[in-house]
Amino acid sequence: MTRVRRVAGLALPVLVLSVALAMVALMISASGFDISKAAVAAIDGSFGSSFAIFSATLKRTTPILMLGLAVAVAFRAGVLNIGAEGQFLAGATAACTVGLAVGTRGGFGAIVSELGAGVLGGAAWAGVAALLKRRYAVTEVVSTLLLNFVALYLVGFLVRGPLQEPSRAYPQSAVLDPGVRLPLLVAGQRLHVGFAFALLVAVGIWWFFGATASGYRVRVTGAGRSAAASAGRVDVAAVQMWALVASGAIAGLAGACEVTGVTYALYEGLSPGYGYTAIAVALLGGLNPIGIVVSATLFGAIGAGADAMQRDAAIPAEFAAVAAALVVLGVLAAPGIQRVRLALVGKGAAR
């Protein structure tokens, strides 16, 4: 029975992703584009060379992997954190501010300070929603979603005001000094050590959920708040609050790694919706850290392939966003479809 469940658990993500990609392919074809040319461009752009793998796919995987893990931590506690996008921007802003303050006095300590600031920035941003939930019973779906827009407009204000680059010609911060940037993980490529950090975070979360009492409390809270509170004597409100804060901290680290390892500056549009894509990544991975590593890599490849299709085949990259949305709908619809199937099977057996 356990083996059957494992096979079913693996089959569902594969089925959902396959259906989503097939539907996007039909949309591309129906829009009048050459589907074969699009497929070749997507494959070449995501896995066709070492540059495509390290400088496109895995570089793009890094932020959505961290954000997917952040979303999973909250979701496993029964907290619907829709604010990873805002927490990502808060972390990037904090890290960039510290990096600009350090200036040319770079080094290991400066990089640690940037990453630490990013973690604190993301945690503080999520902490606002956590406080509103615990003290005033404000649902986190609303608060975290609205805080995304606050973060977005805050970045816009900062890059046109206090953090704008010295010439005042562009709506962005000054470029970070090379001494305060994350080192590259592969020489000659754009993949930075943030990818290694993301893998370490995945392993750490896997260990936390599987081998610690605190991780167990998070899991049982997400499985059933009433049962956790009554039978397990778990402080559900506290567990959910700290899970949301921890989720924000991981999202803030993702933002810090992005600004110190990829963009080297803060500007509007820093995230092309990574925080929202992360929800699809987390759900497709079954909220399991190992599954999220796989699903994040797939979405990184889809994003890199979409960029290549736009560049080489003039196909809008927005089709990748459509694929992500279809994945979310598929994962959410799957339990309902399964219940209907079982009900029909039961009726058939009764006859």
> At 293, is the pLDDT very low, low, confident or very high (cuts 50, 70, 90)?
very high
Range of 4-8, 211-215, 323-327 with top mean pLDDT: 211-215
DSSP-derived secondary structure for 83-151? -HHHHHHHHHHHHHHHHHHHTT--SHHHHHHHHHHHHHHHHHHHHHHHHHHHHH---HHHHHHHHHHHH
Q: What is the pLDDT of residue 278?
A: 95
Burial label, 65 (beta-carbon count in 10 A; 0-12, 13-18, 19+): buried
Percent pLDDT > 90 in the chain is 67
pLDDT by residue (tens digit) across 1-22?
Answer: 455 455 555 676 778 878 888 8
**pLDDT score recorded for residue 246:** 98
Mean pLDDT lowest among 129-138, 290-299, 314-323, 338-347: 338-347
Exposure string (b/e) for 248-262, b if CB count within 10 Å is 16 or more? bbbbbbbbbbbbbbb
- Asked whether the beta carbons of 236 and 146 are under 8 A apart, the reply is no
Name residue, tokens 């809008």.
316
3-class SS of residue 316:
coil
**40-54 confidence digits (pLDDT tens):** 998 999 999 999 999
Q: What is the pLDDT of residue 1?
A: 47
Q: Return the pLDDT at 63.
A: 97
Average pLDDT, the chain: 90
More confident residue, 346 or 174: 174
